[in-house]
């Protein structure tokens, strides 16, 4: 639709502005992406299997213990995770951003590592570590204390175990929000406070903490939402622990005979709660948006910790042992030892798991191929889409651009598994039967990643002032030419960073894929999940390490290009 544009514009009299049709096209596309699956979701929740309107699904949902228990469990898990995430992440964010903590960059890098670790993989690694009897940490405990054979220190198969694992991979969201907020607080405010005679603690209490509070609140909400809608960790831990969360319950409703009506009804509370919480966050942040970002201010003043700085460093590293260092070590151990939870020694090291995964397991190559194709396609389409929409909204090319921005951000309110259910309902029927193809997964990934990509591209566009484009337009370039020769080169790094970001996120996605895959469209995350079912732990460890290796190659690439922290922030927000 755009290729013909430059030539046409040279003949001014019949010049035709394609901006509007483009806008409408994108708006229509986004509507199809979001509104269609969500409408089917609502419709299904209101009918019985024969198609008659009924409220019976909701009655069942709110009266049967089989649904009420998971609802309650989910609430406890989400609240608990949110609380503990803030408890750990807030002091850490402050230490990293506002004090002379040693190796702050390393700590930020390790937080990034826990952010990109797939939650289901982390949960499996924590099984290796803290299963009550076979867990490595419990074995160590028994070896050190000489305790009885069934004594244990940790039991990961409990509600608190699940909350702990969720926290491990959710706290980066809170950390990044807080650290970035503190990064942005100008040092002058604190200086002014100390000049007026306030002590360090008073300054912290009266200036720093109130300024960081909105970020903390936002972090608490984001952590709550993450924990509430997470499928991976509960799917690994909840069954052995003997309970369901809402996400695992929704998934189990697809067992034969499938009950899509109930699944749809059970998805709606998650969707509604997410929308409400995001509105609340917007409301709170909107009110308390202290205008500290305006103007150029000095770098934040770093508080010298003195000798305490090594204590603080040790504390941070101790925290980061949990999501990154210990689980990665456990995965490595499981990959190369003969039995997953036997301690690896030079004597018992084996490559049998590697051989099995790459030379015997026939699903590996297909899953890897699908994952790569989907990652690359979603990243490419997603970046292009985000780029176009951001251009239309930041340059305010046409009226109605706000609606486009809203649509592009809306999927943030759709939990992965809910989107999965919606897409399943929408695309298993004519006219558009996409189930069974990679397209349906591509749609899911695009929808899930669009808000983050859009926000990244939008701020990139904002950073490039439009006067540069205007100058080129004045010198006779068409809109597209000035885009190509002026804006595009300036945006290149952001575009690459966004591409990589989507790619990494697609690799670790499980909650939508678990509903939408078929045997021919299996991806690595689903393959790992299947291997978990039969307890083939060595193979999981090898595949998991592969996933992490690919992820880190991409993350390092982004880091070479731009600060990843910035991207992370926009996602978490």
Partner 1 sequence: MPTNRFSRRDVLKGSTALTVGAVFAEPLRAAVPEASAITPALIEAAKKEGKLAFYTAMDLQFAQQLGKKFEAEFPGIAVRVERSGAERVFTRIGQEYSANIHAVDVVNTADQAHCIVWKRNGWLAPYLPEDVARHFDKRYYDPDGLHVTTRILVSPLGYNTNLVKKEDAPKSFKDLLDPKWAGKMVKGHPAYSGTIMNATFQIARDLGWDYLEKLAKQRVMQVQSATDTPKKISLGERAVMVDGAGYLVIRYKEQGQPVEIVYPEEGTPLATGPSAVFKAAPNPNAARLFQNWMHSRGAQQFLVDWARQYSPHAQTVEKPSVRPLKDIKLMMEDPEGVHAQAEAIKKRYAEIFKV
Q: Which residues bind partner 1 (CB under 8 A)?
A: 47, 49-51, 65-66, 69, 131-134, 149-150, 157, 238-240, 242-244, 252, 254-260, 339-341, 356, 360-363, 366, 428-429, 433, 435-436, 518-520, 530-531, 533-537, 539
Both tokens assigned to 10 = 């040279």
Minimum CB separation from partner 1 for residue 163, in Å? 18
Which DSSP state fits 322?
I
Measured CA to CA, the distance from residue 291 to residue 478 in angstroms comes to 37
Residue ranges of alpha helices (H) inside 99-135 are 104-116, 119-130
Radius of gyration from C-alpha coordinates of the chain? 25
SS (H, E, C) 234-264: HHHHHHHHCCCCHHHHHHHCCCCCCCHHHHH
For 459, the token pair is 């701020």
Distance (Å, whole) CA 357 – CA 342: 19
Q: Whole-number minimum distance, CB 165 to partner 1, in Å?
A: 17
Instruction: Give the pair of three-digit tokens for residue 85.
Output: 């995430």
Task: Please state the closest distance from residue 532 (CB atom) to partner 1, in A.
Answer: 8
Q: How far is the CB of 427 from partner 1 (least distance, A)?
A: 9
The backbone torsions φ and ψ at residue 49, rounded to the nearest 5 degrees and listed phi first, read -55, -25
Min dist. Cβ of residue 349 to partner 1 (A) = 18
Q: What share of the chain is helix, strand, coil (3-state, %, to 5)?
A: 75, 0, 25
Whichever of 297 and 428 has its CB closer to partner 1, that residue is: 428
- Min dist CB 135 to partner 1, Å, is 8
The 10 Å Cβ neighbour count of residue 279 is 11
Nearest to 513 by CA among 408, 424, 428: 424
Choice between 43 and 552, CB closer to partner 1: 43
Q: Give the nearer residue to partner 1 in terms of CB position, either 469 or 536.
A: 536
The CB-of-376 to partner 1 minimum distance in angstroms stands at: 23
Q: What letter does residue 535 receive in the DSSP assignment?
A: T
Residue 435 CB, shortest distance to partner 1, in Å, is 5
Q: Which is nearer to partner 1, 479 or 522 (CB)?
A: 522
CB nearer partner 1, residue 438 or residue 486: 438
Q: How many Å is the maximal CA-CA distance in the chain?
A: 90
Q: For residues 104 and 366, which CB has a smaller minimum distance to partner 1 in the complex? A: 366
Give Cα 502 to chain centroid, integer Å. 10
Closest listed residue to residue 438, CA positions, set 501, 506, 361: 506
Cis amide linkage into residue 257, ω under 30° from 0: yes
Helix (H, G, I), strand (E, B) or coil at 25: helix
CB nearer partner 1, residue 2 or residue 133: 133
Instruction: Rank residues 49 and 400 by Cβ distance to partner 1 and give the closer one.
Output: 49
**Whole-number Å distance between alpha carbons of 403 and 288:** 25
What does each C-alpha distance from 53 to 58, 88, 326 come to in angstroms? 12, 48, 52
Complex with partner 1: residue 158 or 409, whichever CB lies closer: 158
CB of 315 to partner 1, least distance (A): 32
Least gap, CB of 70 to partner 1 (angstroms): 10
Phi and psi of 53, rounded to 5°? -65, 135
Residues in contact with 565: Cβ distance below 8 Å, sequence separation at least 6, in sequence order: 108, 112, 176, 179, 180
**Minimum CB separation from partner 1 for residue 436, in Å?**
4
Nearer to partner 1, 17 or 360 (CB): 360
Complex with partner 1: residue 279 or 429, whichever CB lies closer: 429
């Amino acid at each position: 639709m755009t290729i013909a544009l430059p030539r046409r514009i040279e003949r001014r009299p019949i010049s035709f502005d394609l901006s509007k049709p483009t806008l409408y096209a994108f708006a229509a596309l986004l509507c199809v992406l979001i509104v269609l699956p969500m409408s089917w979701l609502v419709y299904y929740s209101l009918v019985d299997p024969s198609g008659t309107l009924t409220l019976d699904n909701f009655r069942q949902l709110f009266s049967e213990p089989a649904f009420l228990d998971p609802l309650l469990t989910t609430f406890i898990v989400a609240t608990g995770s949110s609380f503990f995430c803030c408890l750990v992440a807030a002091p850490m964010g402050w230490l990293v951003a506002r004090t002379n903590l040693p190796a702050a960059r390393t700590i930020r890098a390790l937080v990034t590592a826990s952010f990109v670790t797939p939650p289901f993989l982390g949960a499996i690694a924590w099984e290796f570590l803290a299963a009550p009897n076979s867990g490595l940490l419990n074995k160590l405990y028994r070896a050190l204390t000489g305790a009885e054979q069934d004594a244990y220190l940790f039991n990961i198969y409990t509600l608190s175990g699940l909350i702990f694992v969720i926290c491990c991979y959710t706290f980066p969201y809170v950390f990044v929000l807080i650290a970035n907020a503190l990064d942005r607080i100008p040092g002058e405010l604190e200086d002014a406070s100390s000049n007026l005679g306030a002590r360090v603690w008073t300054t912290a209490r009266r200036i720093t903490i109130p300024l960081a509070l909105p970020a903390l609140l936002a972090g608490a909400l984001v952590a709550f939402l993450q924990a509430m809608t997470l499928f991976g960790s509960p799917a690994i831990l909840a069954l052995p622990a003997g309970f369901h969360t809402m996400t695992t319950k929704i998934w189990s409703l697809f067992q034969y005979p499938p009950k899509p009506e109930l699944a749809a009804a059970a998805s709606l509370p998650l969707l509604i709660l997410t929308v409400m919480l995001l509105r609340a966050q917007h409301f709170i942040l909107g009110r308390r948006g202290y205008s500290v970002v305006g103007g150029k201010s000095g770098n934040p003043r770093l508080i010298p910790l003195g000798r305490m700085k090594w204590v603080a460093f040790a504390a941070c590293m101790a925290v980061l042992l949990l999501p990154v260092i210990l689980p990665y070590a456990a995965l490595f151990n499981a990959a190369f030892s003969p039995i997953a939870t036997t301690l690896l020694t030079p004597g018992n090291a084996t490559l049998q798991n590697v051989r099995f995964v790459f030379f015997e397991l026939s699903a590996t190559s297909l899953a890897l191929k699908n994952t790569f194709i989907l990652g690359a396609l979603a990243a490419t389409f997603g970046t292009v889409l985000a780029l176009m929409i951001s251009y239309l909204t930041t340059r305010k090319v046409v009226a109605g651009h706000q609606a486009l921005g809203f649509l592009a951000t809306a999927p943030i309110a759709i939990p992965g598994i809910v989107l999965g259910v919606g897409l399943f309902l929408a695309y298993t029927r004519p006219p558009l039967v996409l189930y069974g193809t990679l397209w349906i997964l591509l749609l899911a990934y695009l929808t899930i990643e669009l808000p983050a990509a859009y926000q990244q591209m939008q701020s990139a566009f904002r950073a490039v002032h439009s006067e540069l484009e205007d100058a080129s337009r004045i010198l006779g370039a068409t809109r597209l030419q000035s885009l190509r020769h002026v804006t595009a080169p300036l945006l290149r790094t952001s575009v690459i960073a966004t591409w990589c970001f989507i790619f990494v996120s697609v690799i670790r996605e499980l909650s939508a894929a678990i509903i939408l895959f078929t045997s021919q469209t299996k991806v690595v995350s689903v393959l790992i999940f299947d291997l978990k079912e039969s307890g083939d732990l060595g193979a999981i460890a090898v595949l998991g390490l592969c996933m992490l290796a690919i992820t880190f190659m991409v993350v390092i690439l982004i880091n070479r290009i731009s600060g990843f922290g910035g991207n992370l922030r926009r996602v978490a927000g």
